[in-house]
Amino acid sequence: MRSGLTLVLIVGLVPFVLGVGGGGGGGGSSGPSAEELALQNAIASREAGFGCQNQSSMAERILCRLGFPVTGQLDYQPEECRAKVLQGKLDCYDFYESVQPCWLNETDGERLACARTAIGFSASIPTERARCETLNTANKVLCKQKLRANVDKLVKFRLYQLSQKALYFHQEGAPQNQIVAFIQYIEETKQSYSAAGTKQAKIDLIRQVQTKWREFVEQIKDSLPEETE
Amino acid sequence: MTRLIMAGALALLFLSGCIQYQSTQGTLETPISTAVPSNNPPVGIQNPSITEESPAPQPPLAEPADDEFNDGLEDAIQDLEDAYS
């Protein structure tokens, strides 16, 4: 009877003891802070479901995900997010996750409208800017910053859309190496766009993509079925 | 006295026999249809309409016709102009 009671006490105490022990690990001053640990855990949790993470080069990762079906969910790590850390990485995942369902729409226009909503636009950009102008000085600055950040996301979505079209051309028979090279170019451009500090620098990058897109289409057109042209 | 007890015991035995017989008759009178499972298929046979999996339709990756070669980036430049104006 007494040994039974002791066993019950031990079994009951184990979770409590383990719980106390687990909570004491984050208190060290030399390691990452509790906030950083929480972010790292959140990032690890998001990345657990991603495919194509073992490839060392960007081209290899793009090649790996060429055959992924459109599911409306983020099932790979976007290259742009790969280059970011902590909260920036989580924000990046949030953006890419939010626009994934948009690929399930059939036309460019529907996809763009979907992305505008996902990003947070509730009106046209001139209208939203006019709204910012009605605010007091401090809020006006914040409002314009938010609007420009959202426009940057929309621009990146348009670049992303070109990658998706390239995937479509791949399905239609365009050469794999040209598809991978173009998607890699778009991925690198998105990172350059994030680093661009001025409106003009951003517009210059977009102009370069336009030129590259025209070249790309000329390269692959002959490999597409007749009705696609 | 002993005979009386013996008679009583026999009477009880007879009565319990009668009750058992009557309950057996009652079971046989139960309608057969309620004793047989109604619409369940025999074990091992499955309904093909339930088990067959139809392939999920795969959505198209891009717009099939008119503007698949359009980059749409002029609008992106206009968006930037509007945001920074």
Task: Tell me, yes or no, if A155 comes closer than 8 A to chain B by beta carbon.
Answer: yes
Instruction: Extract the tokens encoding A50.
Output: 């991603």
Mean pLDDT of A30-40: 89
d(CA A136, CA A126): 18
Mean pLDDT of B45-59: 46
Q: B75-85, pLDDT tens digit by residue?
A: 999 999 999 98
Q: pLDDT value at position B15?
A: 62
ipTM above threshold 0.90? no
Q: For residue A217, is pLDDT > 50? A: yes
* Confidence category of residue B58, pLDDT binned at 50, 70, 90: low
Q: For residue A141, is pLDDT > 50? A: yes
Decide which of A77 and B37 is more confident: A77
Contact B73 A210 (CB under 8 A): yes
Of the ranges A203-212, B45-54, B65-74, the best mean pLDDT one: A203-212
Q: pLDDT value at position A104?
A: 96
Q: Which residue of A has its CA nearest to B81?
A: A199
Contact A129 B73 (CB under 8 A): no
Nearest CA-CA distance, residue B54 and chain A, Å? 17
How far are the Cα atoms of A75, A87, A102, A191, A196 from residue A84, in angstroms, in the given order? 18, 8, 24, 10, 15
Instruction: Extract the tokens encoding A219.
Output: 């390269």
Rg (C-alpha) for chain A, rounded Å, is: 24
Q: For residue B16, is pLDDT > 90? A: no
Q: A4-26, pLDDT tens digit by residue?
A: 544 444 444 444 444 433 333 44
